[in-house]
Amino acid sequence: MSVSPANNNPAMIYQPVSGLVDDAFDAEGQIKPHWHYLLGSLDELGAEAFAERQQKALRILRDDGATYNIYGDTSSPAHTWGLDLVPNIISSDDWADVEAGLLERAELFNLLLRDIYGQRRLIKTGVIPPEALFCHRGFLRACHGIQLPGDHDLIIHAVDLMRGADGRMWVLGDRTQSPSGAGYALENRTVMSRVFPSLFRDSHVHRLAAFFQRLRAKLISLSPNIHQPRVAVLTPGAHNETYFEHAYMANYLGFPLVQSDDLVVRNGFLWMKSLDGLSRVDVLLRRVDDWFCDPVELRSDSRLGVAGLLEVVRAGNLVVANPLGSGVLENPVFLRYLPEIAKALLGRELRLPSVPTYWCGDQNDLDFVQKNFSDLVIKPVYRNIDSRSVQVAGLSADEQQQLLAKIKAEPLQYVAQPMVVAGHIPTFENGNALVPRPAILRSFAVASDSSYTLMPGGLTRVGNSENSFVIANQAGARSKDTWVVASEPERVPADSAQDDSVVVREADLISLPSRVVENLFWMGRYAERAETTLRMLRTTFMLLNGEEPISDAVKQPLLQALLAVAAIPPADEASDNRFVAAEQRLQQLVSDGSLTNSIATSLNAMLYCADETKELLSSDTFRVINDIRDALQVLPGNLNASLGSAPEEALDPLVTALMAFAGLTQESMSRGFGWRFMEMGRRLERAQQISLAVNYLLVPEFSSQDQNKLAEALLLSLESLISYRRRYRGRMVLDTSLDLVLLDSSNPRSLIYQLGQLGEHLRALPKAAVGLHELSREERTLLETEVLIKLASLKNLVQTDAGLRPHLLETMSRCRELLAEISEQITDKYFDHREASQQLVHSNRESL
């Protein structure tokens, strides 16, 4: 390997491999002009510097929360999105030809969709065999007659392309149901422009923003409510493989992200349940597959759709993009008849050729498949998670016979295609070299006023090896930014950022879904619960291993308080020496994810809530959330390593990260309802934890020395010890400790401060009856709690009787009861817990 003199690290010289189609080289083996500047720049940069840029890109993706969920990986399904920093380069001249073919194809598939759910002339005239349509599970009879306003039913059309051995682009398949990848392409572009700003700028890359502006404008124009169009993005939820993209797109387009439980059908319209009642939704950009969208008329066991959704669509009161039933266009059988379809609908054949396809439902095609079986790739007609393409040559003789038997048993459900090798492009591998990898490009088209607008480039995916057969994200394939480059900078129209006439922001028309504010509320509670437990655990470690040994009388309430804060019962209720059993569970309290309210459980619940509200959190906030995720993963190992020496040090990174999270939510979130609910959750939880800690540490009567040690532990756990010492400058006294912890409204860690903050947030929430001054249920309960604490007498609270402080015990117990009531009242009033509607009988054609 050569060495670049400019930076004294290994150069990256890219060489073609004999026998492989390589997009970077022409037929004579020379680097194509549009690749020359990039490869020369990378060679000059060198492998070591490039690897550093690759790590920087990985950190940016992680901080952005860019993930892709691998369904088969049960240990860690969420993986950071894989991006290779060597872009796929396409010249403007080459792209012009591809663009023309893709626009033509989008128009054809739009006409095909209208015909399938309209007059079905292609069936009547024999262009398409009836079995090709009616035997495909993507065809939804319930969607017959549904037509979108305007000239286009197919709003977004995606096409998977590859460059063949002849240098031409070939179409592998179409994605029309809820095409994914556009959001990831935008994230790739954002990262690339940050990591290689000069290279990106000097390459004159065509911008992507116009595509997303056109998408936003088109969705708004589809609304039947022309004065105040309301658009929402429907997602299956955080466990979906491309959930990051759903949240990212919703945030970028300025539309709310909703799930099925956020929506309800009433009086012939679709409504979103929000804090201020029901808000009508006019347009739904869906990321949920057809069959799951309506449990009444489609898949009865679905929890991802909305009961009655199809009826609202049929009534013309809702537009769904892409329309329900559009998944039928992904039927690969149509590729077999596409030349005839194009002639019938367009009057000509398509410019872009598709990979030759043979349908086993046609006898002549089936004969061809049997004769050439080992040279073909077999694909199921209907695509789902369990289906996959099979390269027959890679099967054993017995496996080939078994597959052929399955095809003969259900010939309508299989197609065959010849094995085609995708063109290769330069890819950075092993941290030190550029190597060729097969690539597939997914392009995206969005309907505009008269035709379609194409994203310049798209999402490129590359295989893991030179001979990769499956190039898919679920198989671990990485992505690339796709650069369509020009010889001079692209001219951006002056009004490109103002491409719609809607003045009113959709975010102002639709409030936050109840599900979102519920997750924010519990995110605040879980974060506070984990932080309090960590602080108390840290205090316990410090006292157990301190310079002065503590007595068993102090140790027992300490450990009991710790378990009470985490709501964990002692290991052995009948043990005479229960604190020993509790002491042995400290490590379990940290890392046991199956233990209710362990630190791991609380933090994992908090992280789940953060994922559910990802579109509302700033990038800095999500960066801290990722730090919490990382610290949680290494916490058990760090704690094991430090058990013999200052184990509390292992807890500090998590405590610091949680404090940073709390600070960022204060500084970077607007003071909307979402922020208030998160703060209410935090204040409720902190008040509960203060009450519990006081109950276990100060209610029992001990000797003066032990009592002072427990009071010190309480103040240290509540981060109030420094304030106490600065104020009183003497030894611990019980009544002054209680005054600081319970009654001091200037102490942000006191109980009365939490109640005051909670009251401010409750009063700021929307009222059911405007103009009335009657307190709500939760406000009345909170007032009772505040009165209980404010009227408490320190003299009475510290009085003892039979080894206890009964007034303190009664006050803290009643306080926790009232706080629990407030939590329930908030939940009942603002959070919805309805069960999803479904059919009374099982009717699940999709799963047959």
Q: Which pLDDT value is given to residue 125?
A: 95
In a domain, 791, yes or no: yes
If 0-12 CB within 10 Å is exposed, 13-18 middle and 19+ buried, where does residue 303 land? middle
DSSP 709-753: HHHHHHHHHTT-HHHHHHHH-SS--HHHHHIIIII-TT-TTSHHH
In a domain, 494, yes or no: no
Among 80, 115, 139, the domain boundary falls at: 80
> Greatest CA separation found in the chain?
98
Structural domain tally of the chain?
3
Q: Is residue 753 domain-shared with residue 652, that is, in the same domain? A: yes
Rounded to an integer, what distance in angstroms lies between the CA atom of residue 682 and that of residue 819? 12
Rounded to an integer, what distance in angstroms lies between the CA atom of residue 313 and that of residue 154? 15
Q: Is residue 324 domain-shared with residue 245, that is, in the same domain? A: yes
Q: Is residue 36 domain-shared with residue 172, that is, in the same domain? A: no
Rounded to an integer, what distance in angstroms lies between the CA atom of residue 223 and that of residue 670? 29
Which portions of the chain are predicted below pLDDT 70? 1-11, 70-78, 487-511, 546-549, 565-597, 640-646, 730, 768-772, 832-848
Q: Is residue 223 domain-shared with residue 110, that is, in the same domain? A: yes
DSSP SS3 for 129: coil
Q: pTM for the whole thing?
A: 0.84
Distance (Å) of CA 603 to CA 441, 590, 640, 682? 39, 10, 19, 14
Report whether 185 contacts 460 (CB < 8 A): no
Q: Is residue 457 domain-shared with residue 573, that is, in the same domain? A: no
Q: Is residue 163 domain-shared with residue 242, that is, in the same domain? A: yes
Domain that includes residue 666, residue range: 514-766+774-828
Q: Is residue 215 domain-shared with residue 74, that is, in the same domain? A: no
In a domain, 414, yes or no: no
Half-sphere exposure of 403 (CA within 13 A, CB side): 26
Q: Is residue 741 domain-shared with residue 599, that is, in the same domain? A: yes
For 491, which DSSP code? P
Q: Is residue 102 domain-shared with residue 188, that is, in the same domain? A: yes
Q: Is residue 130 domain-shared with residue 45, that is, in the same domain? A: no
Report whether 599 contacts 589 (CB < 8 A): yes
Rounded to an integer, what distance in angstroms lies between the CA atom of residue 395 and that of residue 337? 29
* pLDDT, tens only, 214-269: 999 999 999 888 778 899 999 998 888 899 999 999 989 989 999 998 999 999 99
Q: Which pLDDT value is given to residue 413?
A: 93
Rounded to an integer, what distance in angstroms lies between the CA atom of residue 328 and that of residue 110? 12
In a domain, 428, yes or no: no
Q: Which pLDDT value is given to residue 712?
A: 87
Distance (Å) of CA 839 to CA 36, 143, 324, 455? 61, 18, 19, 41
Rounded to an integer, what distance in angstroms lies between the CA atom of residue 501 and that of residue 209? 18
In a domain, 846, yes or no: no
In a domain, 26, yes or no: yes
Helix locations, 127-206, DSSP H: 130-134, 182-195, 197-202
Q: Is residue 226 domain-shared with residue 330, that is, in the same domain? A: yes
Q: Are strands 169-175 and 156-163 parallel, antiparallel or unpaired?
A: antiparallel
Identity of the amino acid at 706: D
Identity of the amino acid at 419: M
In a domain, 401, yes or no: no
Q: Is residue 671 domain-shared with residue 815, that is, in the same domain? A: yes
Q: Which pLDDT value is given to residue 498?
A: 45
In a domain, 363, yes or no: no
Rounded to an integer, what distance in angstroms lies between the CA atom of residue 517 and that of residue 24? 50
